[in-house]
Amino acid sequence: MGYMVCVGYCCGCNSLMHFNPHYVPSIRVSRKDGKWVPDPEGHREPICEACVAKGNEARAKAGMPPIPVHPEAYSESEEG
């Protein structure tokens, strides 16, 4: 049995983060003028805890349900 940790950049704030690829929240984006922009036809990129929290604050103000975050979203993944 082993563990896997993915390291990558948040597509919301570009901070380096580690995450579990099976559970991390993600959004569909595409690259435009060197930046990630939301795109329903784009590919999925991970977002960090801080960006999810900010997004959930905005969603709450808009009366929308929060984006759920799995307890293992930002931890290592057990493989094996």
CA geometry: angle at 12 spanning 10 and 14, to 5°?
50
Report the nearest approach of Zn ion to the CB of residue 79 (Å).
25
Q: Which is nearer to Zn ion, 13 or 64 (CB)?
A: 13
Report the nearest approach of Zn ion to the CB of residue 61 (Å).
19
Distance CA 60, CA 28 (A): 21
Report the nearest approach of Zn ion to the CB of residue 28 (Å).
16
User: Which residue type sits at 58?
Assistant: A
Q: Which is nearer to Zn ion, 16 or 62 (CB)?
A: 16
Residue in the block written with tokens 């939301």: 38
Binding residues (CB under 5 A) for Zn ion: these are 10, 12-13, 48, 51
Query: Which residues are registered as beta bridge partners of 18?
Result: 7
